[in-house]
Amino acid sequence: MKTRSAISAGIVVIVSLSVLITLSSSDTTHENKIRIAYFPNIGHAIPIVGIEKGFFEESIGNQTKIETRVFDSGPQAIESLFANSIDLAYVGPGPAINGFLNSDNHNVKILAGAASGGASFIVHPNSEINSVSDFAGKKIATPQIGNTQDVSLRHYLSENGLKPAEKGGSVTVYNISNPDIYTLFVKGDIDGAWVPEPWATILETELGGKRLFHEEELWPNKEFASVLLIANVDYVEKNPIIIANFLRSHYETVTWINTNPVETRIVFNNFLNSYLGQSLSDDVIDIALSNLVITADPKPNSIFSFAERADALGYLGRNGYDLSEIFLHFDMNSILEEST
């Protein structure tokens, strides 16, 4: 299926438009509206399904307008939160942690989980990588420096006595977007990639890549938070009923996705067609979705472990860090009961 180049171009257009919209709307009022950011990835099935099926709108009510921003990276979403251009965002643990630590008064916090797992290491068919012992001298890509897959790769290298080239080691690490990883994989310019779904499955099924391992195999209980729902605390405090209703629909959407995988695939493909003008094969989406666990559980232990790994890599600054208040404890049921 020759759709990747079109999808790649579409993502670039969406990101560019999102940035323009964000910049132009940062000074506008957001009373009676909620602004949500997410990515065009299957790991972001909750916001995609919640928006496309109207679950969020039905729960929040017609008095509150829902605005969406589609991004391709967590740092973009975090910058928009800092600029007060969005209120909620679905991002990986890396951006969530950095957002919390770098926001004024720790104004960005985790509300809930959205997905666990869903990342893999894919080997190029012409590269002779059968285990980590073959990584030396290879070129490996991850989506962005400091993002979830980048931290996981660099931690994995360190655990196995390897270093990236910029640290005097023998492994060249490229930090580039998922569409660019696809292009380099096609050309044979990289030996492997640590990428999220559906890109891992795309590299495997369309380009003959070999899935060396699923990342969850490296985690306790084979689970780790890969997508989280984070929020601007000021917005939450000013709009508790809106947030309570949104969270209720978030949890309900988790249940719907897990009981309707085929329809979830249809919704996701319709979303891709709407935003990018292209879609993925049913097999790619079904495999990608099966490699994820859609859950509202934020897997706290994995977030703390992830922070330790990021800190060891020097990604969290030199002054230490404290994640004791990274979770926003929000009593949804009490607020909804009081509002009735």
Q: What residue type is 10 in one-letter code?
A: G
Do 238 and 194 lie in a common domain? Answer: no
- Residues 147, 282 within the same domain: no
- pLDDT tens digits for range 57-81: 999 998 899 999 998 778 889 999 9
Structure tokens at 160: 């196995």
Measure Cα distances from 234 to 108, 227, 237 in Å: 9, 22, 5
Res. 335 pLDDT band, cuts 50 70 90: confident
> Residue 338 pLDDT more than 90?
no
Indicate the pLDDT class of residue 235, thresholds 50, 70 and 90: very high
Q: Are residues 207 and 109 in the same domain?
A: no
Mean pLDDT throughout 134-143? 96
Instruction: Identify the bridge partners of residue 192 per DSSP, sorted by sequence position.
Output: 123, 140
The answer on pLDDT for 21 being more than 50 is no
Average pLDDT over residues 269-295: 93
Residue 275 and residue 202 share a domain: no
Residues 10 and 103 in one domain: yes
In this prediction, residue 115 carries a pLDDT of 98
What was the pLDDT predicted at 35? 97
User: Which among 191, 222, 253 is the end of a domain?
Assistant: 222
pTM of the model: 0.87
Residue 214: give its domain's CATH number. 3.40.190.10
Q: Which of 157-166, 221-230, 276-285 has the lowest mean pLDDT?
A: 276-285
Q: Are residues 10 and 50 in the same domain?
A: yes
Same domain, 143 and 105: no
Q: How confident is the model at residue 42 (pLDDT cuts 50, 70, 90)?
A: very high
| Residue 154 pLDDT > 60 | yes
Q: Which domain holds residue 168?
A: 119-222
Q: Let me know whether 281 and 160 are in one domain.
A: no
Q: Are residues 95 and 22 in the same domain?
A: yes
Residue-wise pLDDT tens digits, 91-123: 999 999 999 999 999 999 999 999 999 999 999
Number of domains the chain is built from: 2
Instruction: Say if residue 254 is in the same domain as residue 275.
Output: yes
Examine the domain organization and report whether 282 and 321 are in the same domain.
yes
Query: Residues 231, 110: one domain?
Result: yes
DSSP string covering 252-320, please? HHHHHHHH-HHHHHHHHHHHHHHHHS----HHHHHHHHHTEE--S---HHHHHHHHHHHHHTTTT-SS-
Where is the domain boundary, 185, 207, 222?
A: 222
Q: Which of 189, 222, 255 is the last residue of a domain?
A: 222
Q: What percent of the chain has pLDDT over 90?
A: 78
pLDDT given for residue 277 in this prediction: 87
